[in-house]
Amino acid sequence: MMAPDTKFTINGIDEFCESLRNIVKEAEGPNKFFEKLYDDPIGQISKLSNKFYAILSKFLTDREFRTEILAQILDENNREFLQEFLHTWDLWSEIYQEQNRYIKVAMSPVWDLIHEIPFSINDTQYCNSSIYSDSLSETLRIKSILRLVSANKGFGGDECFVISSTVGRYLGTIRLMLASMKLRETELGMFRLASHGNIVDEIIASLTRIRELADELQKQFEQMR
């Protein structure tokens, strides 16, 4: 039998519970919290401190970890609150799977991964793309294939795709991807888009933002000379 003074507890879990309680209270209660979680999943989760993202993510994906930690919580009210919160989240995530996947990706601790990335991984060598008109969604879609150097598409887990190369080659990847969208004059004549639609307007707006950012980056690197 374990002696009373040899039972260890993780005090930070109670702090995690209190932080979670405050978010639910701010959302005007449990029902409103999950309602707002559907409407603005990232907005609700972002209210939680970054240091608790990994804990919540682990709670939601690892049932054994959840059971072990719940047993560690000294405050009975916190333990019951967290147990009910996680149970409701399980039900919510089954109903709203798309929103739940979005939240899981947002909670991925990608910043810590930066320090583990080797100098060269998934460095793009070549890009080929095809553009086609999607009549169902009334938009233009693009399919691209990137040929990679030092390929390791599993690095970083399911939620991340890691690229590591020189800045010049990184920018070259973007140039390759944009260049792969360029149509020949003969191909351009194949597309006839409705004049009242906003398909082209959205694309032009995106290209304008890319051009503005490219100008800012050019000034930034020119200052390094």
More confident: 144 or 116:
144
> Which pLDDT score, from 0 to 100, does residue 167 have?
92
Task: Enter the pTM of the model.
Answer: 0.60
Check if the beta carbon of residue 44 is closer than 8 Å to that of residue 53: no
> Which pLDDT score, from 0 to 100, does residue 218 have?
95
Q: What is the torsional sign of CA 6, 11, 16, 21?
A: positive
Q: What is the DSSP letter of 143?
A: E
pLDDT confidence band for 71 (50 / 70 / 90):
confident
Looking at residues 113-124, what average pLDDT do you find?
A: 87
Distant-in-sequence contacts of 197-203, Cβ < 8 A, 24+ apart:
197/138, 199/138, 199/139, 199/140, 203/140
Residue 122 confidence (pLDDT) above 80: yes
Provide the terminal-to-terminal Cα distance of the chain, rounded to the nearest Å.
Answer: 69
Three-class SS of residue 206? Answer: helix
The pair of structure tokens assigned to 211 is 């051009």
